[in-house]
Chains A and B, each alone.
Chain A
Amino acid sequence: MTLSAYLALALILFCIGLYGALTKRNTVIVLICIELMLNAANINFVAFAKYGAHPSVHGHVFALFAIAVAAAEAAVGLAALIAFYRSRKTVQVDEANSLKH
């Protein structure tokens, strides 16, 4: 029951993140939504590490790793976004479409 509650929270969080990542036009919002999805995964890790079939510390460690990697990813993503803004004077994700057919 407790596990299900955590998983449900993670699911809701992930869906919100996915929805935002696929629909929002502002690249900053898209990046934030990706963070939401990552954190939904982190909640799953921690929930299983505590209430899963084989509780262990690995899940906690993995969640910390994911947070660290997410921070790095956010840094890279924002740097790319700034470079994009300098060349195109915009942060709209649907205007980054030069790689089309």
Chain B
Amino acid sequence: MMNLAWVVPLFPLGSFILLLLFGRRWKQRSAYVGIAAAFLSLLLALAVLVDRLGGSTYEANWTWMTIGGVTLTVGISATALNAWMLVVVALVSWLVHVYSQGYMAGDERFSTFYAYLGLFTFAMLGLVLSPNLLQAYIFWELVGLGSFLLIGFYFYKEEAKAAAKKAFIMTRIGDVGFFIGMMLLFWQTHSFDYDDIFRAVGDGTLSPGMTTLAVILIFIGAIGKSGQFPLHTWLPDAMEGPTPVSALIHAATMVAAGVYLVAALFPLYEASHAAMMTVATIGGVTAIFAATIGLVQTDIKRVLAYSTISQLGYMMLALGAGSYVAAIFHLTTHAFFKALLFLAAGSVIHAVRTQNIEEMGGLWRRLPWTAPLFLIGALSISGVPLFAGFFSKDEILTAAWTNGPRLLFWLAVAAALLTSFYMFRLFFLVFAGKARHHEDAHDAPASMVAPMLVLGVLSIASGYMQTPWFGSFLGEWLTDGAYRHEAAPGWIAVLATIVSFAGIFLAWLMYGAQKMPRDWLSARVPYVDELLRRHYYIDDIYRLTVVSLVSWISRLLTYVDRFLVEGLARLAAGIVGAAASAGSRGQNGQAQTYGAVTVAGLAILVVIFALTGGYWL
């Protein structure tokens, strides 16, 4: 079935095209087209995965074009990583398609929503099948386009419009880095193929300095897409999009593309210690940085957005610490539990029609399905033992301890504490306490609950692919048996457990039992609270530096355009106009004037002829 892997992305593409053509007529029935396409993709992706489990990598390339001596190819490559990502993406995409049928019901642009979902899924599936950088870059940009369209889905809202533009521009800044890095590699190796580039690193065609430069530039692309510090500010704003979109794009798939890219180029990163340190540092810093901001957010989706940034930081840290397996493992479990959390948050928003957690409370009884599922997601992300998040986070902490700098390990532990704290702050504020004027709040329809149930099961079960007790199936398979489970000190798992329970307990004290005043910290150090509430002033710094600089330049260029360029254009037009009106004044209807002009012209010709002897032409 692996030779049919190229068909997997075509189903959502077909759904996109069909819905663009007939969506207006099909209206609410458009959902079935999208769901069916995503389901077919999932089935085929599963078949590819099963095939890959027993077999080896399948790769097929077709010539795209030949320029000079260079042949560009397109193709598919079903490595273990690609086959795995294919299933994760197809699965979450299908669940989100199903969920959206309930969540988006009644929306005027329902079919457009499904069309965009199809486009995005196509791009994402194409990205994880790419065997070369150029193809990956094309799909990388298409994914960005899908994200842009879906964030700006409610384009009549100013914030949504601004958020869509911000997401597009900020990820583009990263993409410029990606592009330059890609071109550097091409310049040195004359190939975009992953395999050729890895070979070039191996045999020394690619100098160490160039490798470091190129992979750090490519990592800038990953920073942009995965919302890492300092290009993270678009991700919280992207929450203006519909909630299923946040679950699919801004939790499970697109933002994980940066992690995937680094993982796909892992042999290249491994060749450069400096690049690995950069990845680990950016990841570790982002993990703690975003977690602290998550503590004070009051918008349910923004808490989850900062949590996503923080968890992606974890994955980057794992990659930087050399544990490719831990990163992909956490990517997978995170895709499930974070998608679950977002879908549950969507269900809450659906029920109470607000996103402000201060206005919620006491929803446990009113949402009998959503609330326990949200709890499962929260327990999983907090790293409570026996849930998926525990195993993957443990794996990352082990990697950070054994290979990374000590400081990053402790940062990751601190981030784990903050994670369980802000997740349960969210949980207690939304579901515990006394109910507040949401008398009519009721749980979501079955089409929304069912995908959450599936994700709930996966948020527990997906952890058992790789545990210290039952063997490390995922790791061995991803690395073709080369994986050795690091002899992890047992105290790391114990520490992680303590930290996660400590965070939950603290949240319970403050927001559940309310035995501790909520402003315990903010009353003592108000400036820290202010700093967190303003997101470390990052947005303000950008507004004052980059944005104002660019708008200043653009204002300058406006004047250049208006007075210089437009002036030149107007001058040219004026000259032609003046010549025309002068000419038309000569057109006075007097045959004798015409005759005189003709004779004068003839006389001039004769004079020229006489002077030059007729050879002047």
Residues of A near any B CB (own CB < 8 A): 18, 21-23, 30, 93-94, 96-101
Report whether B584 and A22 are in contact in the complex, using a CB–CB cutoff of 8 Å: no
Q: How far is the CA of A30 from the CA of B594 in the complex (A)?
A: 14
Shortest CB-to-CB span from A84 to chain B, Å, is 12
With A93-B592, A94-B590, A94-B592 known, 5 other A-B pairs at CB within 8 A are: A21-B595, A22-B592, A96-B589, A100-B587, A101-B587
Interface residues on B, range: 10 to 19
A24 to chain B: closest residue by CB = B592
Contact of B591 with A by CB under 8 A:
yes
Shortest CB-to-CB span from B376 to chain A, Å, is 85
Report whether B588 and A21 are in contact in the complex, using a CB–CB cutoff of 8 Å: no
Residues of A within 8 A of B595 (CB): 21-22
Contact of B585 with A by CB under 8 A:
yes
Total A-B pairs in contact (CB under 8 Å)? 29
Report whether A100 and B589 are in contact in the complex, using a CB–CB cutoff of 8 Å: yes
Contact of B138 with A by CB under 8 A:
no
3 closest Cβ contacts across the A-B interface? A100-B589, A97-B589, A101-B587
Residues of B within 8 A of A98 (CB): 589
Given A18-B599, A22-B595, A22-B596, A101-B585 contact (CB < 8 Å): yes
Shortest CB-to-CB span from B35 to chain A, Å, is 70
A97 to chain B: closest residue by CB = B589
Residue-wise interface mask of B (586-617) relative to A, using a CB-CB cutoff of 8 A (1 in contact, 0 not)? 01111110011001000000000000000000
Residues of B near any A CB (own CB < 8 A): 584-585, 587-592, 595-596, 599
Q: How far is the CA of A30 from the CA of B592 in the complex (A)?
A: 10
Shortest CB-to-CB span from A27 to chain B, Å, is 10
Partner of B590, one of A18, A21, A97: A97
Q: How far is the CA of A96 from the CA of B585 in the complex (A)?
A: 17
Shortest CB-to-CB span from B585 to chain A, Å, is 7
Report whether B589 and A23 are in contact in the complex, using a CB–CB cutoff of 8 Å: no
Shortest CB-to-CB span from A98 to chain B, Å, is 6
Report whether B587 and A96 are in contact in the complex, using a CB–CB cutoff of 8 Å: no
* CB-defined A-B contacts under 8 Å, sample of 8: A21-B595, A22-B592, A22-B596, A23-B592, A96-B589, A97-B588, A100-B588, A101-B589
A96 to chain B: closest residue by CB = B591
Partner of A101, one of B588, B591, B592, B596: B588
Shortest CB-to-CB span from A73 to chain B, Å, is 15
Which of A22, A23, A96, A97 neighbours the largest number of chain B CB atoms within 10 Å of its CB? A22
Shortest CB-to-CB span from B586 to chain A, Å, is 8
Q: How far is the CA of A94 from the CA of B591 in the complex (A)?
A: 8
Report whether A22 and B599 are in contact in the complex, using a CB–CB cutoff of 8 Å: yes
Partner of A93, one of B584, B591, B599: B591
Residues of A within 8 A of B591 (CB): 93, 96
A100 to chain B: closest residue by CB = B589
Shortest CB-to-CB span from A40 to chain B, Å, is 14
